[in-house]
Amino acid sequence: AGQYNELASLLLSPQEGLIKHLLERETTTDVISMAAYGTALGIYWCVAVLIFGISVPAGNFIPGMTIGAALGRILGEALDHSLYDDNPATESKAGRFALMGAGAVLCGVTRMTITIAAILVEVSNDVNSALPLMWTLAFAKVIADVLAPGFDDGMMNLLQLPYLEHDPPHEFEVLTARDVMAREVIVLKEVERVGDILAVLKRTRHCGFPVIDVGRSHRCSYFAGLIVRRHLMVLLKHRVWELQAVGAPLPASLKADFFESGRNSAQLTRSFLSYDLPSEDKEQLIDLRGFMDPCPYLANELMPLRRVYRLFNELGVRHLPVVDCREQVVGMITRKDVQPEIIEERFMVEDLDALAKALFHREADELEEVEGGPPKNAAAASVVDTLIGQHGCQGLRNCSQILTTAAALNSIDLAERSSCTEQSESSPVEATPDATKSACAAAPDAEQASVPLEATVATVAAG
């Protein structure tokens, strides 16, 4: 009787009771030892690290407060034992240190200052702690900003979510939509074959497709509208071409599926994986003019990138077709295309491509001057060796880009020529005679329609 387990009292208590105990100011005889506090802190910290970021309805506010309060409590208890052992009647400072520790850790995780100060002053019911708490939060935020991004920003970067800051970078001042758009775009005609639509849906994962008016000569590509992937799947599912052939009105079930497709897009995509049509149905025609968006947001190819950035950030645009002065579709921009990291990677690849071409031509000219010199394949191999020597094989992506660039120059397989052969086996270079380009010429966005229907651009699987 009268015995208790210190560690169980800390770990098995409700979260509210644990925080109240850590922030307690009164000196009691039943003090939990520092070893118990340290053990509980280690266990709680490990569990919090494992749980943060998983797909469960949990937050990081209460765990951050608990970890910070435990750290502050341990420091406060150590100071009490070292300074006030001779005078037990002195008020314990451990509770105040726990309050400062909770604020510091919360500020480091969430990067909030005034809000945390107001919450903790309200929780502790101690207005006198407001000033030292504000100083603590200020120092914690400055140090945290120097060391690492906030928890939420770090998770978005880790998951590669297309999050855009409120203001675009200053480097966007000199860029236009033409600099970041995907130049190879899958387009659909206003009246399109069912088989072509089915092939596009099965071979790509793009979510938006510009619809063009080909004119009487069938050689134009004037922009007419935009249609999204889920709407095309609904049209094929309900066999709209049969209704259009007889002039029948659209049934209520089709209209309901059409307007609710955004909510059920995942289920619709799964059911469409095994969907197929007979050959005679694939030759039928669908008129898309009644189902497309005839007036989406557009961007001229010379529009400043800062304005394009604000369209995505403030208006929530998902797909932005790019047209020239004659209203012909020349590209497509998605949210990932205006991310600074993607733009920087694209320009780096373009610089590498230009360097490879310059080296190739220089090596080829030097070899031609030698009588009976080796063929141009040797020049391409020399380009690969030079690029690897200058840039190194920093990961699978860089190695694959080097190999793809050199293969595009001379249409040969150079995997055996480089020291990255083992890495490149998991990222083979695929090319077609119709078009061979650098794998990173367009941003790797699944929503971006960046491959023409008639030709497939060489792609590299960067793990």
| pLDDT at residue number 414 | 40
CA distance 244 to 239: 9
Query: Which residues make Cβ contacts (< 8 Å) with residue 47, sequence separation at least 6?
Result: none
Q: What does the pLDDT read at residue 410? A: 47
- Quick one: pLDDT at residue 226? 93
Candidate from 125-134, 239-248, 278-287, 444-453 with smallest mean pLDDT:
444-453
Residue 184's pLDDT band (cuts 50, 70, 90): confident
Residue 27 backbone phi and psi in degrees, to 5? -85, 125
Torsion of CA 135, 138, 139, 141, to 10 degrees: 150
Segment 390-444, tens digit of pLDDT: 554 443 344 445 445 544 444 434 433 343 334 333 333 333 333 333 333 333 3
pLDDT at 366: 59
What are the b/e assignments for 313-322, b being 16+ CB within 10 Å? beeebebbbb
Query: What pLDDT score was predicted for residue 121?
Result: 87
**Cβ–Cβ < 8 Å for 445, 337:** yes
The CA-based angle 169-334-338, given to 5 degrees, is 10
How many Å apart are CA 381 and CA 377, to the nearest integer? Answer: 6
Contact call for residues 163 and 210 (beta carbons, < 8 A) = no
User: In the prediction, which pLDDT does 51 show?
Assistant: 79
Distance CA 89, CA 78 (A): 16
Contact 103, 120 (CB under 8 A): yes
Q: Which residues are CB-neighbours of 116 under 8 A, at least 6 positions away? A: 103, 106, 107, 110, 137
Indicate whether this model's pTM tops 0.95. no
pLDDT above 90 covers a percentage of the chain that reads: 10
- Two tokens, residue 452: 């023409």
pLDDT at 448: 39
The average confidence (pLDDT) of the chain is 74
- Extract the tokens encoding 219: 């050689």
pLDDT interval class at 445 (50, 70, 90)? very low
When mean pLDDT is compared across 14-18, 234-238, 327-331, 369-373, the lowest value belongs to 369-373
Q: What are phi and psi of 322, to 5 degrees?
A: -115, 130
Specify the higher pLDDT residue, 369 or 296: 296
* Sequence-distant (≥ 6) Cβ neighbours of residue 430 within 8 angstroms: 456, 458, 459, 460
Q: Specify the higher pLDDT residue, 212 or 167.
A: 212
Give the integer Cα–Cα distance in Å for 85 and 87.
6
- Could you tell me the pLDDT band of residue 446, with boundaries at 50, 70 and 90? very low
- Residue 424 has a pLDDT of 37
pLDDT cut 70: percent of the chain above it: 71
HEC string of the chain equals CCCCCHHHHHHCCCHHHHHHHHCCCCCCCCCCCHHHHHHHHHHHHHHHHHHCCCCCCCCCHHHHHHHHHHHHHHHHHHHHHHHCCCCCCCCCCHHHHHHHHHHHHHHHHHCCCHHHHHHHHHHHCCHHHHHHHHHHHHHHHHHHHHHCCCHHHHHHHHCCCCCCCCCCCHHHHHCEHHHHCECCCCCEECEEEHHHHHHHHHHCCCCEEEEEECCCCCCCCEEEEEEEHHHHHHHHHCCHHHHHHHCCCCCHHHHHHHHCCCCCHHHHHHHHCCCCCCHHHHCCEEECCCCCECCCCCEECCCEHHHHHHHHHHHCCCEEEEECCCCEEEEEEEHHHHCHHHHHHHHHHHHHHHHHHHHHHHHHHHHHCCCCCCCHHHHHHHHHHHHHHHHCCCHHHHHHHHHHHHHHHHCCCCHHHCCCHHHHCCCCECCCCCCCCCCCCCCCCCCCCCCCCCCCCCCECCC
Cβ partners under 8 Å of residue 271, min gap 6: none
Statement: residue 242 has pLDDT above 80: yes
Q: Using CB atoms within 10 A of its CB, is residue 256 exposed (0-12), middle (13-18) or buried (19+)? A: exposed
- CB-based burial, 388-427: b 16+ in 10 Å, e otherwise: beeeebeebbbbbbbbbbbbbbbeeebbebbebeebbeeb
Among 170, 166, 63, 176, residue whose Cα is nearest residue 110? 63
Q: What is the pLDDT of residue 148?
A: 84
- Over range 328-355, report the average pLDDT: 79
The more confident residue out of 319 and 16 is 319
**With contact defined as beta carbons under 8 Å apart, do 285 and 194 qualify?**
yes
Position with higher pLDDT, 309 vs 30? 309
Sketch out the chain's domains with CATH numbers.
Answer: 6-159 (no CATH), 177-334 (3.10.580.10)
What does the pLDDT read at residue 432? Answer: 35
Q: What integer is the mean pLDDT of 162-184? A: 83
35 burial via Cβ count (<10 Å: 0-12, 13-18, 19+): exposed
How far apart are alpha carbons 296 and 419 in whole angstroms?
A: 49
* pLDDT tens digits, one per residue of 85-143: 555 555 667 888 888 998 899 898 888 888 888 888 888 888 888 888 899 999 999 99
- Reply yes or no on whether the pLDDT at 338 is more than 80: yes
pLDDT band with cut points at 50, 70 and 90 for residue 225: very high
